[in-house]
Amino acid sequence: MTYRVCLVCMGNICRSPMAEVVLRRTLADHGLDDVVVESAGTGGWHVGEPMDERALAVLTAHGYDGSSHRARQFARDWFDRFDLVLAMDSENLRALRRMSDNVRLFRSFDPNAPEGAEVPDPYYGGPEGFEEVLRQVKAASEGLAKYIAEQRRP
């Protein structure tokens, strides 16, 4: 049975698409190739646009391919499609919880992150912010892969 995860940030051009790309590879590395990973934004400003060029540059520099991404906006009925909906920060968590309680913070899967840790929005900063997002996304993706593997054990 396919397991489905949706990662959500504000505009779906920085954090959540970076997390989508990294999580897909992490899951494949853990032999979880049948997990579907998607991303979206709570806002619709960037719908149809590619990933932010700075996010794409950081991913590319680290051997990831995010070139096919196009931004989408999360819709209430998507909760029925996904086993797990994960917000990048508390603002998006609140927006999603107005639709459903079935949502968590993405970094809650990083065993070394403090409780309530967020993936900060790098949009208004420089390249170092995107590098930090990548580090945080990698750590949470490892923890999430372990969680999914355990959830799927008979």
State yes or no: is 9 an active-site residue. yes
Distance, in Å, from the CA atom of 37 to the CA atom of 42, rounded to the nearest integer, reads 17
Among 13, 111, 113, 90, smallest CA distance to 58 is for: 13
User: Are 105 and 86 a contacting pair, CB within 8 Å?
Assistant: yes
Terminal CA-to-CA distance of the chain, rounded, Å? Answer: 12
Q: Residue 75: phi, psi to the nearest 5?
A: -120, 150
Q: Which of 6, 9, 24, 72 does the annotation list as catalytic?
A: 9
Q: Which of 6, 15, 24, 54 does the annotation list as catalytic?
A: 15
Catalytic annotation, residues: 9, 15, 121
